[in-house]
Amino acid sequence: MKYLWTQIIAVSLFISALVTLNCVAQEKNNVLISSKETITVDSTQYYKEPFRPQFHFSPEKKWMNDPNGMLYYKGTYHLFYQYYPEDIVWGPMHWGHATSSDLMHWQHQKIALYPDELGYIFSGSAVMDVNNTSGLGTKENPPMIAIFTYHNMEFEKAGKINMQTQGLAYSLDEGQTWKKYEANPIINNTTLRDFRDPKVFWNEDTKTWNLVLVAGDRAQFYTSSNLLHWKLESEFGQNNGAHGGVWECPDLFKLKTENNQEEKWVLLVSINPGAPNGGSATQYFIGDFDGKTFTTSQKDTKWVDNGTDNYAGVTYNDTPNGERIFMGWMSNWNYARNTPTTNWRSAMTLPRTLSLSTIKGDYVLQSKPVAQFDQQLTTAFSKEKIEIKKGSEKTLNYSNFNQSQIQFKAANKNLKLVFSNEVNDSLVLNYDAQKQQFSIDRRQSGKVNFEKSFGEKIHTTPTPNLISKSIDFQIILDWSSIEIFLNGGVYSFTEQIFPNQPYTKLSIQSIDNQEIKNINIQSVKDIW
Ligand code: FRU
C-alpha cells in the first residue's frame, strides 16, 4: 500500500512537473502585444518568418521606425522605438519599448506612450532625472523622463504650420508605466513646419540639462535646470553639411580622440532625402560645444554609415564607463514601407560603439559592433592564408552565410567578394584600390523589385581614409541585412537584402595578386 502511494505521488509529481514546464513555456510565449491583446505563439515558429533577423532587434509584430529614448539605468538598457501597433506601414506613432541587460537579448515590454489629444508621439529621448530636478518624482524614487515630439494630425489636416511641439512624459517605475506631464507641450512652436526629435542629456561640464532638436534646415540648442522649462540658446547648420532634405533626429555628445586624448563634440543629424546613395542617411559634424553654442571648422560632409539602410541613429544616455553606443533604424524612407516582410517591418542595426580617430589630420567617427556581440559567435571555419592569383578566384562554401560573420585582412589592393546561392542570387562587394572606392551591388541579391529605388543601382562610396597597407574586413550578415566594417569602422556600410535562399557560396576574386590572411567564418547565435 505504502509502495502504491509512493508511486501515485511520484507519478503525480511527474505530471505536475510536466504541466509546470508546459505553463512556463506557454508563459514565455504568451506575448503581450499591447495592453489590450495577448497572443500565443508557437515557439518553433517564433521569430522564424522569411527574412526575420535572428540577432538584430525587430518588433514582434507590426511597424517600427526610429530608435527612441535609449537609456541605461541600473543594469538595464532601455530601447524605445517609433511604433505603429495596427499595421506594417507607418501610422499613428506610439513608443514601443524593449529592455536588455546585454544589448543582444531583448525583452519586449508594454507600449510606453500612446498618442493623445496633442498628437502622435514622434521621436525623442529619455534621461533619468536622478536628482529629481523636475520635481516629478522624489529624491528616493527619481523619475525617468521622456521628451518627444507631438505631431498634431488635426493641425496638419487643417493646414496649420505649427503642428509639431515637444512634450514630456515621466515614469516612476523605471519605464513600466508612464504619465504625460500635465502642462504639455513643454516647448511650443508657432512658426515652424518641421520642429522635432529632441535629444536631451545631462551636460557634466556645465552642470545643466541640454537639449538639441531640429528646426527645418538647422539644429537648435536649449538649456534647462529642471527639464520642464527650456531656453533656446543658439542654432547651427543652415550653411553647414548636406541639405538635400529636411534635418531629423539630432544627437550631441563628447568623444575623446583615440590617439591624442583630445575631446571633441560630435553632432549627428539625419537627413531625408539627400543621402549619397539615395534617400535617407545620417551625417555628422565634429566641433566644440560650450553648453550653449556648437561651432565647427568642418567644411566637408561626413556620413556615419555609407550604406543605404542606417537611419535616424542616435546614442545611449548614461552608459556604464561612458561608452558611446549607437543604434540606427535599418531602413530607408525610399522603400521602408514596401520591403517584403509579412507580419512585422524593420529592424535596428547592431548596437555599435562609436570612437573618434584622426586620419590624415582630419577627424573620423568610427563605429563597430559592441564587444558583447563577440559572445554570439561560434567559429565554423578559419584559415591563416588564402592566396588569390591575379585574375582568379577562390570559393568558400558554407551552408548559412545568412547568419554569419566573416573577418579577414586583405592587402590594400583590388578585391571582389560575391555571395551567392543555388538560385543565382548574388550580392557583390567590390573594393577598387586605384579609384579608392568601395561599392555594394545588390541589384541581383534576391527580392529587389518591391520598390524601384531598392535595386536600381550600384552603391559607391569614396574611401580615401583606407591608407593602411592591409585592410581589415568585418562582414556581418543576418537574414535580411549586411553590415560591413572596414578597418575597425573607419568606413561602415549597412544595407538590407532579401535573398530568395540563404547564400551558400563566397567567391573571393581579384585582378591583382591578393593575399587573404586570418580568415574566420563564424555562425551567429539566435537571440530570440
Ligand atoms: C525620422 C522621422 C522623425 C520623426 C519620426 C516619425 O525617421 O521622420 O523625424 O520624428 O520619423 O515617425
Question: Over 70: is that where the pLDDT of 39 sits?
Answer: no
Q: What is the pLDDT of residue 6?
A: 41
pLDDT digits (tens, 9 = 90+) for 397-445: 999 999 999 999 999 999 999 999 999 999 999 999 999 999 999 999 9
User: In the structure, what pLDDT confidence band is assigned to residue 40 with cuts at 50, 70 and 90?
Assistant: low
Nearest Cα neighbor of 330 from 217, 450, 478 is: 478
Q: Take residue 71 and report the three cell numbers written for it.
A: 537609456
> Does 521 contact ligand 1 (Cβ within 6 A)?
no
Question: Over 70: is that where the pLDDT of 29 sits?
Answer: no
Atom of ligand 1 nearest to the CA of 149: 10
What integer is the mean pLDDT of 6-23? 37
What is the 357 CA–ligand 1 centroid distance (Å)? 30
- Nearest-angstrom CA–CA distance, 252 and 266: 6
What is the 251 CA–ligand 1 centroid distance (Å)? 14
Q: What is the pLDDT of residue 258?
A: 82
Nearest Cα neighbor of 435 from 476, 466, 468, 392 is: 466
Q: What is the pLDDT of residue 20?
A: 31
- Nearest-angstrom CA–CA distance, 503 and 87: 30
What integer is the mean pLDDT of 483-489? 98
The C-alpha cell 499613428 sits at: 92
What is the 123 CA–ligand 1 centroid distance (Å)? 6
What is the 236 CA–ligand 1 centroid distance (Å)? 20
Instruction: Tell which wins on pLDDT, 366 or 14.
Output: 366
- Nearest-angstrom CA–CA distance, 385 and 515: 7
> Does 346 contact ligand 1 (Cβ within 6 A)?
no
Q: 121 - beta bridge partners? A: 150
> Does 495 contact ligand 1 (Cβ within 6 A)?
no
What residue's CA is closest to ligand 1, atom 6?
A: 122
Q: What is the pLDDT of residue 245?
A: 96
> Does 199 contact ligand 1 (Cβ within 6 A)?
no
What is the 490 CA–ligand 1 centroid distance (Å)? 27
Atom of ligand 1 nearest to the CA of 329: 7
- Nearest-angstrom CA–CA distance, 135 and 224: 14
What is the 464 CA–ligand 1 centroid distance (Å)? 32
Backbone angles phi and psi of 31, in degrees to 5: -100, 130
pLDDT digits (tens, 9 = 90+) for 213-264: 999 999 999 999 999 999 999 999 999 999 999 999 999 999 999 876 799 9
Tell me the best of 62, 63, 64, 66 to mutate to test the pocket of ligand 1, counting ligand atoms within 8 Å of each CB and taking the most.
Answer: 66
**Beta strands per DSSP E along 88-138:** 94-100, 107-113, 120-128
Question: Over 70: is that where the pLDDT of 35 sits?
Answer: no
Tell me the best of 62, 63, 68, 82 to mutate to test the pocket of ligand 1, counting ligand atoms within 8 Å of each CB and taking the most.
Answer: 82
Q: What is the pLDDT of residue 38?
A: 55
Instruction: Tell which wins on pLDDT, 35 or 269.
Output: 269
> Does 65 contact ligand 1 (Cβ within 6 A)?
yes
Instruction: Tell which wins on pLDDT, 326 or 42.
Output: 326
> Does 123 contact ligand 1 (Cβ within 6 A)?
yes
Question: Over 80: is that where the pLDDT of 464 sits?
Answer: yes
pLDDT digits (tens, 9 = 90+) for 55-100: 999 999 999 999 999 999 999 999 999 999 999 999 999 999 999 9
Instruction: Tell which wins on pLDDT, 6 or 285.
Output: 285
Tell me the best of 68, 249, 327, 345 to mutate to test the pocket of ligand 1, counting ligand atoms within 8 Å of each CB and taking the most.
Answer: 249
> Does 249 contact ligand 1 (Cβ within 6 A)?
yes
Contact status, residue 467 vs residue 360, Cβ threshold 8 Å: yes
Atom of ligand 1 nearest to the CA of 270: 1
Q: What is the pLDDT of residue 93?
A: 98
What residue's CA is closest to ligand 1, atom 9?
A: 248
Q: What is the pLDDT of residue 78?
A: 98
> Does 58 contact ligand 1 (Cβ within 6 A)?
no
> Does 466 contact ligand 1 (Cβ within 6 A)?
no
Question: Over 60: is that where the pLDDT of 12 sits?
Answer: no
What is the 79 CA–ligand 1 centroid distance (Å)? 16
What is the 222 CA–ligand 1 centroid distance (Å)? 20
What is the 112 CA–ligand 1 centroid distance (Å)? 17
- Nearest-angstrom CA–CA distance, 278 and 244: 10
What integer is the mean pLDDT of 268-274? 98
What integer is the mean pLDDT of 274-294? 98
Contact status, residue 176 vs residue 194, Cβ threshold 8 Å: no
Question: Over 90: is that where the pLDDT of 54 sits?
Answer: yes
pLDDT digits (tens, 9 = 90+) for 513-526: 999 999 999 999 99
pLDDT digits (tens, 9 = 90+) for 341-381: 999 999 999 999 999 999 999 999 999 999 999 999 999 99
Q: What is the pLDDT of residue 11?
A: 40
> Does 93 contact ligand 1 (Cβ within 6 A)?
yes
Contact status, residue 309 vs residue 459, Cβ threshold 8 Å: no
Please list the active-site residues.
66
Element (H or E) spanning 150, and its range? strand 144-151
Q: What is the pLDDT of residue 261?
A: 78
Instruction: Tell which wins on pLDDT, 21 or 409.
Output: 409
> Does 82 contact ligand 1 (Cβ within 6 A)?
yes
The C-alpha cell 530601447 sits at: 79
Q: What is the pLDDT of residue 252?
A: 99
pLDDT digits (tens, 9 = 90+) for 192-216: 999 999 999 999 999 999 999 999 9
> Does 197 contact ligand 1 (Cβ within 6 A)?
yes
> Does 66 contact ligand 1 (Cβ within 6 A)?
yes
Tell me the best of 113, 123, 270 to mutate to test the pocket of ligand 1, counting ligand atoms within 8 Å of each CB and taking the most.
Answer: 123
What rounded mean pLDDT belongs to the chain?
A: 93
Contact status, residue 367 vs residue 305, Cβ threshold 8 Å: yes
Question: Over 80: is that where the pLDDT of 496 sits?
Answer: yes
